[in-house]
Every structure is written in C-alpha cells, then in structure tokens.
C-alpha cells in the first residue's frame, strides 16, 4: 500500500507538474498533508500575486478522497520531542517546521515525499527525496 506524506516542496512540485511526484501522488492509496505544510503554503500564497488561484488549487487537492490533512496531536508532539532530541544530540538540527512535518509523517506511518535532502537525517521516517526534473 502506498502511503505518502507530502512536505511543502513536494506539494509545490506536484502543482508544477513535476513527473516524479505527479506519478507517485496519482498512484497513492493515501496521502497526508501535515497542517504545518498548509501553513507554509498559505504564507507563500499570501505573499504572491496568485493567492486566490493557489488557495483554490489547494482546496481541490485536499478534497480528493485519498488526501487527508494530518494535524498535531499528543502522539505527534511526543514524536517531535524525540526527533528533536536525537537531531540535537547528533548536531544535525533541522528547521522546526520540518521536524514537525517529520513527526507528523512518523505518526501517520507514511513515507515522506520531499525535495529536501536534509530529511534523510531522520532515521525514524522513510523519506523519498526527489530531484526536480
């Protein structure tokens, strides 16, 4: 069963039509979008000139029956703490939002789709790091 969690870069490249992520997303049985990703996207949309169009595309994407928004709950918060401690002990901290995204992905038991290689430093999640076509 293909269960994926999209980070912000994967969603952006999906909307740009990058064939790698489009194929994976279109064949997935379940896709998670962490709430933090929606926040990062909203921040970008609101600073651009196509906010209305971008929010419409996001709403349509979220309406797909295989797509689920995944928010922070108690378990995600505990996983976040564990990942953060592990990263700090190795001297490889990540941006805070990316650590939350990883914790959400770990809780969902899904493979993270991303274009950011630094997610490989989190052994607790499987990450598929894509390269833009």
Rounded Cα–Cα distance for residues 7 and 98 (Å):
8
Please, which pLDDT band fits residue 116 given cuts at 50, 70 and 90? Answer: very high
Phi first, then psi: what are they for 30, rounded to 5°? -155, 135
pLDDT at residue 6 is higher than 90: yes
Predicted pLDDT of residue 133: 84
Contact predicate 113/28, CB 8 Å: no
CATH fit for domain 3-129, picks 3.10.580.10, 3.40.50.1010, 3.40.50.2300, 1.20.120.140: 3.40.50.1010
Element (H, E) at 87: helix 74-90
């Amino acid at each position: 069963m293909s269960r994926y969690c999209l980070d912000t870069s994967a969603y952006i490249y999906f909307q740009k039509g990058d064939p790698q992520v489009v194929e994976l997303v279109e064949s997935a049985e379940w896709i998670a979008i962490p709430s933090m990703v929606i926040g990062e996207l909203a921040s970008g949309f609101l600073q651009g000139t196509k906010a209305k169009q971008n929010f419409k595309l996001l709403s349509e994407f979220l309406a797909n029956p295989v797509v689920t928004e995944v928010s922070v709950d108690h378990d995600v918060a505990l996983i976040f703490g564990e990942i953060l401690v592990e990263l700090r002990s190795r001297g490889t901290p990540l941006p805070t939002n990316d650590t939350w995204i990883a914790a959400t992905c770990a809780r969902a038991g899904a493979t993270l789709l991303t274009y950011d290689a630094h997610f490989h430093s989190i052994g607790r999640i499987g990450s598929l790091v894509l390269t833009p076509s």
